[in-house]
Amino acid sequence: MKILAIETSCDETCAAVTEGTNILSNVVYSQIDLHKEFGGVVPSIAKRAHEERIELIINKAIQELGVRSQELDAVAVTAGPGLAIALEVGIRYAKELAKKWNKPLIAVNHIEGHVVSGLTPEVKFPAMALVVSGGHTELIWVEKIGQYKIVARTMDDALGEALDKAARMLGLGYPGGAELEKRAALGNPKIYPLPLPMARSKELAFSYSGLKTAFYRLISAKGQVLSAKDTNDLAASFQKRAFEHLIRMTRRVIQDSGFMIHDLLVGGGVAANTKLREEIKKLSEEVGINVYFPQKGMYGDNAGMIGIAAGFKAERGEFSDPEKIDRLPRWRIDE
């Protein structure tokens, strides 16, 4: 079954054609340059940019393959979670195309896309999925594809959001996760001690706002222009603690939460971080499970992952009524 998938939940305009877990084409137009100067995603700018590009991106995804619209079997689109006015753009287009081509429509949860982004036929279920992005930090129990339960999520900032804010405090631009990684690799994490989030809490959850505040105080206390060495050391400290918290909570969920799991699936933009992947790999060896990461280009937002999730939904006959499909900005994966 060949599926055209569309993703416009945030600041990437994406279209892909997939067949099962095979990605036949996967086109991403990143709007980062448009949002950069504002230090974050501006919804109205995202909406307009999606509107301006979407047709081009969809055509590119289809033409790259040389297939004709008649050869496609379904149209899939991210219905949430995400920015309402951005989601709307993709949904409107998906509806129009499904109608024009007389194809079924499939509404996909964006987080489910990240969950299946690293899927291979070897993955054994039940599994645990760790999604770390700019908007989400979630551990999700995956009984099987389509059956989910959120086990831990962030109470405040997402990991990517926290890294971006820390990077901004250091003047590293937006989004700063990747730049912070580069600086952290050059720094010494022991020079500036930061608190480990939720160190004494028994709760299964993530929290990054306390770490962010402590980091802000640390930088303010220095009260001077930061040298390159200071910046590197501060970046190393923040990244170290942020990842330590993530790994510690993931270990606890795997070992102590009582959920039976075979494998760990990882997805989301922050997992593009080499250091984080090393830490996750170490953890998986320590607890004796296999870990699966997305292939290159599938960490951040893309429509390929939406098409993969849609393929499984199609197998289960889960299609959407074009008259009823609507944006779900706060759609939980387990709802």
Q: Which residues are annotated as a binding site for Fe cation?
A: 110, 114, 301
As measured in angstroms, the least distance from the Cβ of 72 to Zn ion is 24
Q: Which of 90, 219, 301, 303 binds Zn ion (CB under 5 A)?
A: 301
Give the 3-state secondary structure percentages of the chain, helix then strand then coil, rounded to 5.
Answer: 45, 20, 35
Of Zn ion, ligand KG4, none, which one sits near residue 177, judging by CB under 5 to 8 A according to partner kind?
Answer: ligand KG4
Residue 272 binds ligand KG4, judged by CB under 6 A:
yes
Cis previous bond, 193, omega within 30: no
- If the CB atoms of residues 151 and 167 are measured against ligand KG4, the closer one turns out to be 167
- If the CB atoms of residues 133 and 250 are measured against Zn ion, the closer one turns out to be 133
Residue 265 binds ligand KG4, judged by CB under 6 A:
no
158 Cβ neighbours under 8 A, 6+ residues apart? 132, 133, 134, 135, 136, 137, 208
How many whole angstroms separate alpha carbon 275 and alpha carbon 123?
23
Of ligand KG4, Zn ion, none, which one sits near residue 164, judging by CB under 5 to 8 A according to partner kind?
Answer: ligand KG4
Residue 300 binds ligand KG4, judged by CB under 6 A:
yes
* 308 CB-contact burial (10 Å; exposed 0-12 / middle 13-18 / buried 19+): buried
Radius of gyration (C-alpha) of the chain in whole angstroms: 20
b/e code 179-188 from CB counts within 10 Å (16+ = b): bbbebbeebe
How many whole angstroms separate alpha carbon 23 and alpha carbon 281?
25
C-beta of residue 236 within 8 angstroms of C-beta of residue 183: yes
Pair type for strands 12-19 and 2-7: antiparallel
Residue 134 binds ligand KG4, judged by CB under 6 A:
yes
- Written as six digits, the tokens of 133 are 């992005």
* Only segment of 73-81, 169-177, 192-200, 207-215 that touches ligand KG4 (CB under 6 A): 169-177
- Written as six digits, the tokens of 97 are 């195309």
As measured in angstroms, the least distance from the Cβ of 173 to ligand KG4 is 10
As measured in angstroms, the least distance from the Cβ of 108 to Zn ion is 12
As measured in angstroms, the least distance from the Cβ of 7 to ligand KG4 is 10
3-state secondary structure 246-298: HHHHHHHHHHHCCCCCCEEEEECHHHHCHHHHHHHHHHHHHHCCEEECCCCCC
Number of H helices, E strands in the chain: 10, 10
As measured in angstroms, the least distance from the Cβ of 90 to ligand KG4 is 14
Residue 177 binds ligand KG4, judged by CB under 6 A:
yes
Distances (CA, A) of 121 to 5, 149, 150, 214, 275: 21, 22, 23, 43, 26
Residue 133 binds Zn ion, judged by CB under 5 A:
yes
Number of Cβ within a 10 Å radius of residue 196: 15
Residue 12 binds Zn ion, judged by CB under 5 A:
no
Residue 161 binds Zn ion, judged by CB under 5 A:
no
Residue 178 binds ligand KG4, judged by CB under 6 A:
yes
Residue 268 binds ligand KG4, judged by CB under 6 A:
yes
Residue 269 binds ligand KG4, judged by CB under 6 A:
yes
Q: Which of 157, 164, 233, 263 binds ligand KG4 (CB under 6 A)?
A: 164
* Only segment of 72-80, 99-107, 172-180, 324-332 that touches ligand KG4 (CB under 6 A): 172-180
As measured in angstroms, the least distance from the Cβ of 273 to ligand KG4 is 3
Binding-site size, ligand KG4 (CB under 6 A): 19
Of ligand KG4, Zn ion, none, which one sits near residue 163, judging by CB under 5 to 8 A according to partner kind?
Answer: ligand KG4
Task: Give residues in contact with ligand KG4 (CB under 6 A).
Answer: 10, 133-135, 160, 163-164, 175-178, 181, 268-270, 272-273, 300-301
Task: Give residues in contact with Zn ion (CB under 5 A).
Answer: 133, 301
